[in-house]
Structure 1
Amino acid sequence: MSTNKIERNETTVQRFLAGTHSPDIEDVAVIDDTVVPHIVCHGFPGFPGGEFEGREKYKAFFRFFRQAFTDMEFTTHKTLATEDFVSAHWQIWVTHSEEFQGIAPDNARVTVDGVALYRMEDGQIAETWLTINEPLLMSQLGKGNARAA
């Protein structure tokens, strides 16, 4: 195995996650540098069948999510990298600030975790499979003063 290729893949994903989950939503521009133009994504809430293609739709997903959920804190618990894939187990803490899937915001602090698998091409993300703990997220929304632990 090529250690350099593995390290490059992991570094790319770390840059991607830092930019897409930073306090400044404009940092989603990191997608232009870390994702291939023909990106294919699977498992994303809010898209038909959870599927979409292209960098602009990837940016749109993060912008939409970040409008509904503000004050994001993001942690990557673990990443595993190979020559062709990087997997990341992550957790976020956010404030429900705008309507999401028909649920009115109540400014509750919520948390959710998930795993993303990234297929890499020449050091950039070419395909993403997202597995989010959506039942956990949805169970916390619309509960008034309920707060995430």
Structure 2
Amino acid sequence: MDLQLEKNKEIVRRFNKEVIEEGNVEVFEELMDEHFINHSAPQGADNRKQGMINTFNGVLRPAMPDIQVTILQQIAEGDLVTTRKNISGTHTGNFMGIAPSHRRISIDVIDIVRLKNGKYAEHWGINNLSVVLAHLKNDQ
């Protein structure tokens, strides 16, 4: 077992728990490299640190205050950590223009994070958010 790979996976688990789930901005700042870039940010959106925290604390958390992150699988190689996870919560707030449905939302995500000196340096990700939003719109 490679200790550095395990440390890298723990950093990503901590980010998911303390930043995404708990909204801890102090931990976010601690874990983010100053030159971070999010390769998966929508075209025209902020692909730096501020854009990333805005996604969590400005979009997801207001829509689902009881947000939970469940890590299903992690693979680490070199300075990369791939995480398959689920982000879920109760849709009690406005979610990207969609009024609260009070239903449980479940978003499947696969993230790849490149770490540099124990911090998030780069991010790539795919998710089924567009499918989730389409279902919510159809149910209105």
- TM-score, scaled to structure 2: 0.85
- Structure 1: which 4+ aligned runs deviate by more than 4 Å? none
CA distance in 1, matches of 2:37, 2:108: 21
Structure 1 residue matching 2:72: 3-state secondary structure: strand
Do the aligned partners of residues 89 and 51 (structure 1) sit closer, same or farther apart at CA in structure 2, a change above 3 Å counting? farther
CA distance in 1, matches of 2:3, 2:104: 40
Instruction: Tell me by how many angstroms 1:16 deviates.
Output: 0.8
In structure 1, the residue matched to 2:33 is 36
- What number of residue pairs does the alignment pair up? 138
1:63 aligns with 2:60: no
Instruction: Tell me by how many angstroms 1:141 deviates.
Output: 1.4
Q: Partner letter of residue 102 of structure 1?
A: G
Do the aligned partners of residues 58 and 120 (structure 1) sit closer, same or farther apart at CA in structure 2, a change above 3 Å counting? same
Instruction: Tell me by how many angstroms 1:18 deviates.
Output: 1.1
Q: Partner letter of residue 91 of structure 2?
A: H
CA distance in 2, matches of 1:77, 1:66: 21
Instruction: Tell me by how many angstroms 1:49 deviates.
Output: 4.3
Mapped contact 1:85–1:117 kept (Cα < 8 A): yes
Mapped contact 1:87–1:118 kept (Cα < 8 A): yes
Q: Partner letter of residue 63 of structure 1?
A: N
CA distance in 1, matches of 2:108, 2:100: 20
Q: Partner letter of residue 97 of structure 1?
A: T
CA distance in 2, matches of 1:100, 1:18: 21
- Uncovered stretches (5+) of structure 2, i.e. residues with no partner: none
Q: Partner letter of residue 16 of structure 1?
A: F
Mapping of 1:4-23 within 5 angstroms?
A: 4-22=3-21
What do you get for the CA RMSD once the two structures are aligned? 2.1
CA distance in 2, matches of 1:78, 1:49: 31
CA distance in 1, matches of 2:25, 2:85: 17
- Uncovered stretches (5+) of structure 1, i.e. residues with no partner: 145-149
Q: Partner letter of residue 55 of structure 2?
A: F
Do the aligned partners of residues 50 and 85 (structure 1) sit closer, same or farther apart at CA in structure 2, a change above 3 Å counting? farther
Q: Which of 108, 118, 135 is matched with 1:140 structurally?
A: 135
Mapped contact 2:45–2:51 kept (Cα < 8 A): no
Instruction: Tell me by how many angstroms 1:93 deviates.
Output: 1.8
Q: Partner letter of residue 7 of structure 2?
A: R
